[in-house]
Amino acid sequence: MFAPDDTIVAVATPPGRGGLGVVRLSGPEAQTLATRLLDHREPLRARHATVSRIVDASTPAGNAIDQVVATSFPGPGSYTGDDVVEISAHGSPVLLERIVALACAGGARLAEPGEFTFRAYLNGRLDLVQAEAVADLVDAVTPLQARVAFDQLEGTVTQAIGAIDTDLFDLIARLEASLDFPNEGYHFVEPGTVAQGIGLLRDRVIGLLAGSTRGRLIREGCHVVILGKPNVGKSSVFNALIGSSRAIVTAVAGTTRDLVSDVIDLDGVAVTLVDSAGIRVTNDAVEAEGVARARQALAVASSVVVVLDRSAGLEEEDRSVLEATAGTSRVVALNKIDVASPSAWPREALDLPPETSVVEVSARTGQGLDMLRSAVRAGLVGEEVYRDTPTVGNQRHIGLLERASGALADAQRVTQDGATEEFVLADLQRARTAFEELTGARTPDDVVNHIFERFCIGK
Amino acid sequence: MSRRYDVIVVGAGHAGVEAAHAAARVGCTVGLCTLSRETVAHMPCNPAIGGTAKGHLVREIDALGGLMGEAIDATAMQFKLLNRSRGPAVWSPRAQADKRQYGRWMRARLEAEEHIGWIIGRVGAVRLEGGRVVGVELEDGRRYGCGAVVVTTGTFLNGVIHVGDEQRSAGRVGEPASKMLGESLKELGLVWGRLKTGTPPRLDRGSIDFSQFEEEPGDVPPVPFSFLTGLVDREQTPCHIVHTNDRVHELVRENKDRSPLYNGQISGIGPRYCPSLEDKVMRFPERDRHLVFLEPEGVDVPEIYVSGCSMCLPREVQEAVIHAMPGLGDARVLRPGYAVEYDFIQPTELRPTLETRKVAGLFLAGQINGTSGYEEAGGQGLVAGVNAARRVRGDGEWVLGRDEAYLGVMVDDLTARGCLEPYRMFTSRAEHRLLLRIDNADLRLTARGREIGLIGDGRWSEFLARRERFERNVAAVRAARAPGRGGSVELAQVLRRPGVTLAGLAAEGAVEVEAGRDGRAYELSSVETVVKYEGYLRRQTATVARGERDERRRIPQGFPYGKVPGLSREVVERLSGVGPATLGQAGRVPGVTPAAVAVLGSYVRRWGGRGMPAARD
Ligand SMILES: Cc1cc2nc3c(=O)[nH]c(=O)nc-3n(C[C@H](O)[C@H](O)[C@H](O)COP(=O)(O)OP(=O)(O)OC[C@H]3O[C@@H](n4cnc5c(N)ncnc54)[C@H](O)[C@@H]3O)c2cc1C
Ligand SMILES: Nc1nc2c(ncn2[C@@H]2O[C@H](COP(=O)(O)OP(=O)(O)OP(=O)(O)O)[C@@H](O)[C@H]2O)c(=O)[nH]1
Ligand SMILES: [Mg+2]
């Protein structure tokens, strides 16, 4: 656990060289320390960008080392709730480290991972869900990830859970009242409506969970692997989708041996696309290893693109690839449509379940690629993304919502079996505890610690 | 020359009698100081003991060797088990008491205790030397020495009674308030506040037409409170039900400005769960009638208590209100209802032993701590009496957990959260409610009491036999099988089905169980519950285990919260004001966030053994 009264310092921008780099100070000494680092004698004006220079007081001449812009955010209105000063310097790692070292020499302590956000949580600036959203926002690769994280930061998830929790609490209070005041001569809750009321609450939790598979894909991204027999154009499709010639393409069957991957943004979903040797029976030791890797990639993939050569006939090897992928979500790409086909390719011949999309493409001309992209995306996250239901994508949240939903299901079942209030309440209280743990209103400290361990320094 | 006792108990109300008895039981000499022997364990309000959650408290007091359960069993006029239609965790016994008999029984019991000496008079001050208690001084100048004092003066501290615009200084009707003692306690720097409670008028039995009412008979057979009581074979007296009506509500509305509750004359805060008639009418205008019970105050006394009609309107308005109800047209009001305002000490001043944090050896119990109700008072009296005695003898603190007893829940609530209104026990305050049942109060607590000397040999040997019977019965039920689909199934499975009872199965001969003496129903109920609701009980036990780490982590007394970095000023103020005994308790202090508890935990861990965090501002 961090000592939350020190003044902490860290580089807030990503490691490496950049145009600008930001050093962030937070804590009771932030202002004093900053003025000592800067050749700026008066206190910084609150929330104003002040141009100044960093001086190294340890050198006799008090050498300036960089020109910077400093901004002071006094607590409690700052990000962390403590006094904060942000110094934008030029983005050289050496320079930024020097500024941090000077701050440490002046009495600041190097921040632990996640410590700035932890302080914001301690000071009540963020709830737990929001604190997690900060980490997601900073890690976001696609604009949709950023948007979902931002919604979470804005509190949409907290609000949605809060609204359910409020109604649950109301029901709990009524049931409690009927136990504690049995002689009042009237009902605090109409008998016979309890099971239904619990059912409605549970539906709302399930509604939040319904979006969670999608939410998780959006938040965590996923793997899509390209499979097919040799030479059907897997690597060509891969290159076409990522928009560069990363994989080697030749007319020789068995060109690709190792896995080749790259991340693409499929309209907001971060997809790690994997090209492989495909699946086939072979005596070649190197190729056999490639096939083994392709199978491993299949095992972790969320979805598969099966490439078939439309310009040739459907062969036994194609069928065995289709069989090997039958258990996974997949899209079938009929490649090389730019070349005339000797035979007709009726869909029935492929013997596919009705929900499997079949898309005709040409990796060479680019025809059909957009269709392929949207088919892959639809297979992963469904057709549309709604903004009005908050997206729950964090595994911790999903786990707790599932726990709440399970407890509500128990409560509903025992109510229907005729159990009396105290048992129903025991189950409802479990649901409530899950909600409270979710937003951090009541979280065992090890959970809190666990959450804050995932942060990087300076966030 | 003044006498010296180990422990002096000030007040012989419901808290005082249990405190004196418990302190004597664990081996101390006790001076019991009261204004009069006639008012020992007097019931100034409702002539009843028990009710939801309160019934649990009485069972727990009894399981720990206290008096209340035996007293009510011996003197009750009617018994009722509340919440009978629900499960065993929320069954609550309640009984109508013969008030006079009840008080006399208590007094006789205490007079028979050889280690209790009586001091008749009014205590004016607690005497201190070097910040610790050395005795008490009466208003008439008499002094007594002691090692610990338990103050249990109820509503007497600066009590003021209101009836219409009449105001009188009084502890309760007919008894003057204790002003000096109140000032003496405030001088010690204890934080205090002002609360209010009220009582309804009493009617003359002979002037009531009972033929007009619905009758409320008692249970047959009655469910007694004490684990020592066998069959109760007694004629029970019925209560009667009346309803208020439009005319009553109109009278209240017309005269609301003459009620001290609505014209600003009373500032103390009353209990929301026990509203006055004025509050019921003004705050719930949509209800066209309210329930009223007519309860006799004794077998051979004329007073009838009008439950649900607590009010402090002028006497003539009260009479008009009463006369507006059917069957009460000619009822004679023997005593009008009244409201009483009184000082209380914020119980956040107390440790979980009910000793004040500021003055060593000074314990407070009962209504002086902001609670309301005889059972709440009795329970605190027992806890304070035991701990006062242990303090004198140099023994360790004796604290019950929230998972062990309603008594533990109550003391923890009071000391961690304080009182903003009069505190009454509810089953919903106990988060481990399913574990804290009336049927297992003895299984939970009697051994705890025995360890510290509260349980005599007779009760102990009877308890041991009961516990063995319980264990044998549970084993028998678990081992039994019943015919079922494709051969046989565990009987426990059958018992878990809705509507199946152990008594029913035993009657069918599916399993043989031994009933206790006099066929005590609670014994079988304990067996049935642990098998039938095993899943629920296991889950609650697991919840208890999860919280145990924080409950065990003690925070040293006088811990300097202000020096813990990262706690907001508000949190520091709250924690310093309450002085929680454990980390678990700190988390229950209002306004203390889980994050603050996490930070505090790391400091308590780090500095716990080696002094305090260094000053650093
Ligand atoms: C008018 C009224 C209405 C109430 N209404 C309700 C209600 O509706 N519901 C409810 O649950 N509870 C009600 N109560 C509260 C209930 O009666 C008390 O909570 C309970 O009796 C408190 O017990 P106790 O032992 O703390 O104090 P008490 O039973 O009041 O005992 C106090 C004792 O202290 C003695 N004493 C006082 N001052 C001194 C002194 N200076 N020196 C020596 N002895 C002293 C008195 O003689 C008395 O024996 C009401 C009380 C009153 C007075
Ligand atoms: N006409 C035409 N040729 C294609 C198309 N896609 C791929 N090819 C050709 O097909 C041959 C094989 O392409 P690759 O992309 O290497 O095929 P692969 O499936 O990765 O082959 P291996 O890695 O060997 O299994 C190459 O000569 C490509 O130029 C297409 O859409 N149209
Ligand atoms: Mg290839």
For residue A440, the chain B residues in CB contact (below 8 A) are 594-595
pLDDT band at B1 (very low <50, low <70, confident <90, very high): very low
| CB pair distance less than 8 Å for A419 and B568 | no
Neighbours of A353 (CB within 10 A): 6
Q: How far apart (Å, rounded) are the C-alpha atoms in residues B112 and B107?
A: 9
Q: What is the mean pLDDT of residues B332-359?
A: 95
| CB pair distance less than 8 Å for A426 and B83 | no
Query: What is the share, in percent, of chain B residues with pLDDT greater than 90?
Result: 67
Q: Which of A112-126, B89-103, B539-553 has the highest mean pLDDT?
A: B89-103
Instruction: Tell me the ligand closest to A308's alpha carbon.
Output: 2
Q: Is the pLDDT of residue B86 over 90?
A: no
Q: Give me the pLDDT at residue B365, please.
A: 98
- Domains annotated for chain B, with CATH where assigned, are 3-44+104-197+342-426 (3.50.50.60), 202-339 (2.40.30.260), 457-539 (1.10.10.1800), 553-607 (1.10.150.570)
Q: Is the pLDDT of residue A418 over 80?
A: yes
Residue of B nearest to A1 (CA): B602
pLDDT band at A184 (very low <50, low <70, confident <90, very high): low
Q: Give me the pLDDT at residue A447, please.
A: 43
Where in the sequence of chain A do the CATH 3.40.50.300 domains occur?
220-381
Q: Where are the alpha helices (DSSP H) in A28-155?
A: 30-37, 93-105, 115-122, 128-139, 143-153
- CA-based nearest residue to B221, from B59, B60, B81: B81
- Give the mean pLDDT of chain B: 91
Q: What is the mean pLDDT of residues B455-475?
A: 95
Q: How far apart (Å, rounded) are the C-alpha atoms in residues A318 and A228?
A: 7
Q: Is the pLDDT of residue A453 over 70?
A: no
Neighbours of B418 (CB within 10 A): 22
Q: Give me the pLDDT at residue B592, please.
A: 82
Q: Give me the pLDDT at residue A459, please.
A: 34
| CB pair distance less than 8 Å for A180 and B86 | no
Task: Map residue A453 onto helix, strand or coil.
Answer: helix
| CB pair distance less than 8 Å for B594 and A440 | yes
Q: pLDDT tens, B95-108?
A: 999 999 999 999 99
Q: pLDDT tens, B232-245?
A: 888 999 999 999 99
Task: Map residue A403 onto helix, strand or coil.
Answer: helix
CA atoms within 13 A on the CB side of A427: 21
* CB within 8 Å of chain A, chain B residues 174-213: none
- CA-based nearest residue to A91, from A64, A71, A66: A66
Q: How far apart (Å, rounded) are the C-alpha atoms in residues A62 and B595?
A: 42
Nearest ligand 1 atom to alpha carbon B378: 25
Q: What is the mean pLDDT of residues A160-164?
A: 86
Q: Is the pLDDT of residue A235 over 50?
A: yes
Q: Give me the pLDDT at residue A441, please.
A: 62
Calculate Rg over the CA atoms of chain B: 25
For residue A422, the chain B residues in CB contact (below 8 A) are 86-87, 89-90, 427, 433-434
Q: Give me the pLDDT at residue A456, please.
A: 38
Q: How far apart (Å, rounded) are the C-alpha atoms in residues B240 and B292?
A: 8
Q: Give me the pLDDT at residue B70, please.
A: 97
Is B602 an 8 Å CB contact of chain A?
A: yes
Q: How far away is chain A from the Cα of B498, in angstroms, using its nearest Cα?
A: 7
Q: What is the mean pLDDT of residues A290-300?
A: 86
- Which of A1, A6, A417 is facing B598, going by the closest CB pair? A1
Q: Is the pLDDT of residue B372 over 60?
A: yes
Q: Is the pLDDT of residue A15 over 80?
A: no
pLDDT band at B611 (very low <50, low <70, confident <90, very high): very low
Q: What is the mean pLDDT of residues B296-310?
A: 93
Q: Give me the pLDDT at residue A153, please.
A: 66
Q: Which residue has the tokens 């208020």?
A: B244
B550 versus B612: the higher-pLDDT residue is: B550
Looking at residue A326, what DSSP letter applies?
T
Q: Is the pLDDT of residue B599 over 80?
A: no
Pairing of strands B148-151, B362-364: parallel
Q: What is the mean pLDDT of residues B532-561?
A: 87
Q: How far apart (Å, rounded) are the C-alpha atoms in residues B317 and B367?
A: 30
Q: How far away is chain B from the Cα of A137, in angstroms, using its nearest Cα?
A: 23
Neighbour order of strands in the sheet with B123-129:
B123-129, B132-138, B143-145
CB B371 within 8 A of CB B6: no
Instruction: Tell me the ligand closest to A236's alpha carbon.
Output: 2
Is B596 an 8 Å CB contact of chain A?
A: yes
Q: Is the pLDDT of residue A445 over 60?
A: no
Annotation: CATH topology of A8-126 = Gyrase A; domain 2 (3.30.1360)
Q: Give me the pLDDT at residue A186, please.
A: 66
End-to-end CA distance of chain B: 54
* CB within 8 Å of chain B, chain A residues 175-214: 176, 179-185
pLDDT band at A141 (very low <50, low <70, confident <90, very high): low
- Write out the two tokens for B167: 């105001």
Torsion of the alpha carbons at B204, B206, B207 and B210, rounded to the nearest 10: 110
Q: Give me the pLDDT at residue B614, please.
A: 41
A9-18, A34-43, A303-312, range with the lowest pLDDT? A9-18
Query: What is the share, in percent, of chain B residues with pLDDT greater than 70?
Result: 97
Q: How far apart (Å, rounded) are the C-alpha atoms in residues A198 and A423?
A: 14
Neighbours of B319 (CB within 10 A): 17
Q: Which residues contact B496 (CB under 8 A, 6 or more apart)?
A: B531, B532, B534
Q: Is the pLDDT of residue B608 over 80?
A: no
- Write out the two tokens for B562: 């202000």
pLDDT band at B361 (very low <50, low <70, confident <90, very high): very high
The Cα-based distances of B218 to B77, B294, B302, B397, B582 in angstroms read: 9, 14, 20, 41, 44
Q: pLDDT tens, B48-72?
A: 999 999 999 999 999 999 999 999 9
Instruction: Tell me the ligand closest to A260's alpha carbon.
Output: 3
- CA-based nearest residue to B492, from B518, B527, B519: B527
Phi, psi of A413 (to 5 degrees): -65, -50
Q: Is the pLDDT of residue B616 over 60?
A: no
Neighbours of B214 (CB within 10 A): 10
Q: Is the pLDDT of residue A180 over 90?
A: no
Q: Where are the alpha helices (DSSP H) in B153-223?
A: 179-187
Q: Which residues pair with B93 in a beta bridge?
A: B81
Q: How far apart (Å, rounded) are the C-alpha atoms in residues B589 and A28?
A: 27
Q: Is the pLDDT of residue A324 over 80?
A: yes
| CB pair distance less than 8 Å for B428 and A440 | no
Q: How far apart (Å, rounded) are the C-alpha atoms in residues A405 and B281?
A: 41
pLDDT band at B514 (very low <50, low <70, confident <90, very high): confident
| CB pair distance less than 8 Å for B566 and A5 | yes
Q: Is the pLDDT of residue B272 over 50?
A: yes
Class of domain A220-381: alpha beta
Is A449 an 8 Å CB contact of chain B?
A: yes
Q: Is the pLDDT of residue B407 over 90?
A: yes
Q: Give me the pLDDT at residue A176, please.
A: 83
Neighbours of A93 (CB within 10 A): 14
Q: How far away is chain B from the Cα of A257, in angstroms, using its nearest Cα?
A: 52
Q: Give me the pLDDT at residue B304, please.
A: 95
Annotation: CATH topology of A137-211+391-440 = Four Helix Bundle (Hemerythrin (Met), subunit A) (1.20.120)
User: B462-471 burial string, b = 16+ CB within 10 Å, else e?
Assistant: bbeebeebbe
CA atoms within 13 A on the CB side of B525: 18
Q: What is the mean pLDDT of residues A215-228?
A: 82
H-helix or E-strand spanning residue B199: strand B192-199
Question: Ligand 2 centre from A249 Cα, in Å?
Answer: 6
Ligand 2 pocket check for A362: Cβ under 6 Å: yes
Where in the sequence of chain A do the CATH 1.20.120.430 domains occur?
137-211+391-440
For residue B598, the chain A residues in CB contact (below 8 A) are 1, 445, 448-449
Where in the sequence of chain A do the CATH 3.30.1360.120 domains occur?
8-126
Q: Is the pLDDT of residue A112 over 80?
A: no
pLDDT band at A448 (very low <50, low <70, confident <90, very high): very low
- Give the mean pLDDT of chain A: 82
Report residues whose beta carbon is within 6 angstroms of any ligand 1 atom. B 10-16, 33-35, 39, 44-46, 122-123, 152-156, 171-172, 178, 181, 197-199, 274, 340, 366-367, 372-374, 377
